[in-house]
Amino acid sequence: MVINQPLPRALQPPRQSFFLFGPRGSGKSTWMRRHFARATRFDLLDEALFHELLTTPGRFFERLRSLAPRSWVCVDEFQRLPSLLNEVHRAIEERGLRFVLSGSSARKLKHAGVNLLAGRALRKTMHGFVPSEMEGRFRLETALEIGTLPVVVSSPQPEETLRAYVLSYLKEEIQAEALARSLAGFARFLPIAALMHGQGVNVSALARDAGVARTTVNDYLDVLEDTLLAFRLPAFEARLRVRERRHPKLYWVDPGLVRAAKQHLGPVAPEERGPLFEGLVAELLRSWNDYRGLFDEWAYWAPTEGPGFEVDFLLRRGKRFVALEAKSSARPRPADRAGLDAVAALPGLERRILVYPTTPRLTLDGGIEVMDFLRLSRELEAGRL
């Protein structure tokens, strides 16, 4: 499937300055051109502009002097020059300008402890496509195979684009920005981390398989998160009648990226399907929460006692909880509800949901709801979760 024109996105532009984070290829620049067509633009991937502002950052402010108050200014890949945030702060205070600051990494910002505009800018995130953004062209099997990043979905050769994406990530993000001490070590770590998609983080195993120290693995995991390719989901720690595991789960943000990282493209293998579908549900929840603010916190629940007692996602808003389990099987099976039955005693638990790729919507004994992936997306979009 090739998409030849920009599609409308769910993210709505704020009225004040904001940071716009998202992995490369998620459509940040296209979205900015659509919503801020008249804005003054600075693309820090332009090497001439980058070196000019690197050596004389004051020229950035000089270029803004002629703009009227409340004018918009877009800065692409601003994380390449964190020191510019001081000039942005100055322009907001002295000139009343508004900024869109887009970036594909928060690594340098976090480690430099730079000025993040003292709360004068919101933080927004751009994700891959959610189903409704694709205007009827979303296909779950395609999403599991190549993912939902616009740069891949719009490519006539998506598998080649995914391979190039991983190589570009290693060269332009990791090596060029010196985000990891050893490029070889990080390159060995990447496919191993991809195999951990949807699993609890076992630092010792990752370190052994990648041939690096445990402390290095922790740093590599931070790099994956800071460059917005993966996230860790914590374990739920409320006191139930059993003891919960405390190791986080690792999820990549896109099925295509995790498959490219482990160098396994083409048709989805049966052993991949479960983790890929669970990860796609995780990213769907994460996307709509960023766009709609649906829940305050989320976690997984997996006690150490009792085989099969697991819930993939536990969402909290205030004192209210929703438990959600993702299953990739073709139809509901009695064993699929074991975790949802086990967590039923959690105070404040209002809904328990089983999600499948395709299934009729129904309610099981005990009030467990069954719905398919597209129904879940519509519920999230409407804010009905």
Report the C-alpha gap between 344 and 87 in whole angstroms.
53
Model pLDDT, residue 304: 61
Instruction: Confirm if 128 and 283 have CB atoms less than 8 A apart.
Output: yes
Q: Say if residue 161 is in the same domain as residue 308.
A: yes
The torsion of the CA quartet 290, 292, 294, 295, rounded to 10 degrees, works out to 30
Would residue 284 count as lying in a domain?
Answer: yes
Total domains, the chain: 2
DSSP 8-state assignment for residue 90: H
Would residue 357 count as lying in a domain?
Answer: yes
Model pLDDT, residue 135: 84
pLDDT at 306 over 60: no
pLDDT above 70 as % of the chain: 90
Would residue 62 count as lying in a domain?
Answer: yes
Please compute the mean of the pLDDT values over residues 296-309 and round it to a whole number.
78
Model pLDDT, residue 238: 63
Nearest to 255 by CA among 245, 240, 241, 269: 269
Mean pLDDT (the chain, rounded): 89
Q: Say if residue 224 is in the same domain as residue 191.
A: yes
Nearest to 64 by CA among 83, 45, 90: 90
**Residue 239's pLDDT band (boundaries 50, 70, 90)?**
low
pLDDT in tens, 21-73: 999 999 999 999 999 999 999 999 999 999 999 999 889 999 999 999 999 99
Q: Say if residue 273 is in the same domain as residue 169.
A: yes
Would residue 4 count as lying in a domain?
Answer: no
Amino acid, res. 106: A
pLDDT at 256 over 50: yes
Say what angle helices 203-210 and 214-226 make with each other, to 10 degrees.
100
Q: Say if residue 166 is in the same domain as residue 303.
A: yes
pLDDT at 378 over 50: yes
Q: Say if residue 108 is in the same domain as residue 257.
A: no
Q: Say if residue 111 is in the same domain as residue 149.
A: no
Show the domain range for 196.
136-385
Q: Say if residue 118 is in the same domain as residue 154.
A: no
Domain with 83 in it: what CATH number? 3.40.50.300
Confidence (pTM): 0.91
pLDDT at 117 over 80: no
Instruction: Confirm if 228 and 104 have CB atoms less than 8 A apart.
Output: yes
Report the C-alpha gap between 83 and 78 in whole angstroms.
9
pLDDT above 90 as % of the chain: 64
Model pLDDT, residue 114: 53
Using left for φ > 0, alpha for ψ between -120 and 50, and beta otherwise, residue 275 falls in: alpha
Would residue 13 count as lying in a domain?
Answer: no
Residue 201, φ and ψ in degrees, nearest 5: -75, 115
Please compute the mean of the pLDDT values over residues 233-261 and round it to a whole number.
81
pLDDT in tens, 158-188: 999 999 999 988 887 777 666 666 788 888 8
**Residue 240's pLDDT band (boundaries 50, 70, 90)?**
very low
Q: Say if residue 169 is in the same domain as residue 51.
A: no
Instruction: Confirm if 189 and 183 have CB atoms less than 8 A apart.
Output: no
Would residue 11 count as lying in a domain?
Answer: no
Model pLDDT, residue 244: 46
Report the C-alpha gap between 42 and 316 in whole angstroms.
39
Would residue 314 count as lying in a domain?
Answer: yes
> The tokens of 242 are what?
């059993």
Q: Say if residue 75 is in the same domain as residue 215.
A: no
pLDDT at 76 over 70: yes
Would residue 6 count as lying in a domain?
Answer: no
pLDDT in tens, 87-99: 898 899 999 999 9
Q: Which residue has the higher pLDDT, 91 or 306?
A: 91
Say what angle helices 203-210 and 183-195 make with each other, to 10 degrees.
130
pLDDT at 272 over 80: yes
Model pLDDT, residue 241: 47
Q: Say if residue 155 is in the same domain as residue 94.
A: no
* Domain final position from 98, 125, 152: 125
Q: Say if residue 204 is in the same domain as residue 344.
A: yes
* Domain final position from 125, 153, 180: 125
Q: Say if residue 149 is in the same domain as residue 298.
A: yes
* Domain final position from 70, 93, 125: 125
pLDDT at 267 over 90: yes
**Residue 314's pLDDT band (boundaries 50, 70, 90)?**
very high
Q: Give 215-246 as a 3 state SS string.
A: HHHHHHHHHHHHCCCEEEECECCCCCCCCECC
**Residue 249's pLDDT band (boundaries 50, 70, 90)?**
very high
DSSP 166-222: HHHIIIIIIITTT-SS-HHHHHHHHHHHHHTTTEE--HHHHHHHHTS-HHHHHHHHH
